[in-house]
Amino acid sequence: MSQTGNILNRCFELAGAGRLDEAGDLAESALAVEDENGSLWRFVGLLRHQAGDFAGACDALETAQLLVPLDPATNCALAECLARTGCRGLASEIYRTLAISDRTPERLLPAVAAGLGYLGEYTTALEVCVDLTRRQPEFPEAHFGVAFYLRRLGKPPSAALPFIARAHELAPDVALYRISLATLLDHAGRREEAYDLLRDVDLDSVSCQCCLRRMTTIFLAAGDANRGETCRRKAVDGCGEC
């Protein structure tokens, strides 16, 4: 094995042990000597992506792309970096390619849909989620994604309701699915069903302000002033996101 191969293996060992700073330092030191090693650039780019350094990750991954073929997961990371740094057209092109490629593993499709959604490409994001429900009908996130993007596209609650109901059926302990289902039921005029879904939710476990505001509306409409006021206060005081 080459010295560079040994260094890359050591980088992976350090990263696997949670010693990310050491792994990054070792990889960048090696690149200072051998700056055309695409595998090292890819490693550095993925570390930067994980750390939220999207601009730095973009530079490293685009360099890697010139030197070695990128696997679908790395391309997905590159697309996110491009989107976050304002290169929306290039990001869209990568996400769309991933969405239709036979090489893209199913586990990546939720991230592809989310990336397209971030870019405002709701129709394509919806298509990815619909495709995933066909491939993995027992995967709740796919059904939730269909419901989410239907609503983003302005479709009525009745169109999204079967999908969010299926997501909740598959993962009843996920508060986001339960609250979203209750919200759609409320919008459909089925207020008692909405309230029944939420009455046993542990309010301390909910930090998402959007969810708390939805729950406030449903509780107050049902005459549950105590829980409604608790949700309202948490929504005002908190800063959580779904």
Give residue-wise pLDDT tens across range 59-73.
999 999 999 999 999
What would the mean pLDDT of 77-95 be, rounded to a whole number? 98
What is the b/e burial string over 62-96, where b = at least 16 CB atoms within 10 angstroms of the residue's CB? bbbbeeeebebebbbbbbbbbbbbebeebbbebbb
CA dist., res. 94 & res. 58, Å (int): 13
Q: Where are the domains of the chain?
A: 44-82
Give the residue among 124, 122, 143, 123 at the shortest CA–CA distance from 133: 143
In whole angstroms, give the CA distance from residue 34 to residue 231: 56
Asked whether the predicted pLDDT for residue 107 surpasses 70, the reply is yes
- Contacts with 155 (C-beta within 8 Å, 6 or more apart), sequence order: none
The beta strand positions in the chain, using DSSP E, are none
Residue with the two structure tokens 């699915």: 177
Where does the pLDDT of residue 1 fall: very low under 50, low under 70, confident under 90, or very high at 90 and above?
very low
pLDDT tens per residue across span 112-170: 999 999 999 999 999 999 999 999 999 999 999 999 999 999 999 999 999 999 999 99
Q: What's the whole-number mean pLDDT along residues 33-40?
A: 93
Q: What is the pTM of this model?
A: 0.88
CA distances from 149 to 108, 127, 144, 154 (A): 18, 9, 9, 9
Residue 38 confidence class, pLDDT cut points 50, 70, 90: very high
Residue 4: pLDDT over 90: no
Distance separating alpha carbons of residues 60 and 68, to the nearest angstrom: 12
Average confidence (pLDDT) over 15-34: 94
Q: What is the mean pLDDT of residues 89-110?
A: 97
What pLDDT score was predicted for residue 183? 96
Q: Is the pLDDT of residue 92 over 60?
A: yes
Q: For the residues 87-100, what does the mean pLDDT come to?
A: 98
Q: 4 vs 144, which has greater pLDDT?
A: 144
Q: Are 217 and 185 in contact (CB under 8 A)?
A: no
Q: How confident is the model at residue 242 (pLDDT cuts 50, 70, 90)?
A: low
CA–CA separation, 19 vs 47, rounded Å? 11
The tokens describing 20, both together, are 């990310």
In sequence order, the 6+-apart residues with CB closer than 8 A to the CB of 113 are 99, 125, 128, 129, 132, 145, 149
Q: Look up residue 167 and give its two tokens.
A: 């997501």
Between 153 and 205, residue with greater pLDDT: 153
How much is the average pLDDT of 74-86?
Answer: 98
Q: Is the pLDDT of residue 205 over 80?
A: yes
Mean pLDDT in the chain?
A: 94
Question: What does the pLDDT read at residue 40?
Answer: 96
How far, in Å, CA of 117 to CA of 113, rounded? 6
**Residue 37 backbone zone (phi > 0: left; psi -120 to 50: alpha; other: beta):** beta
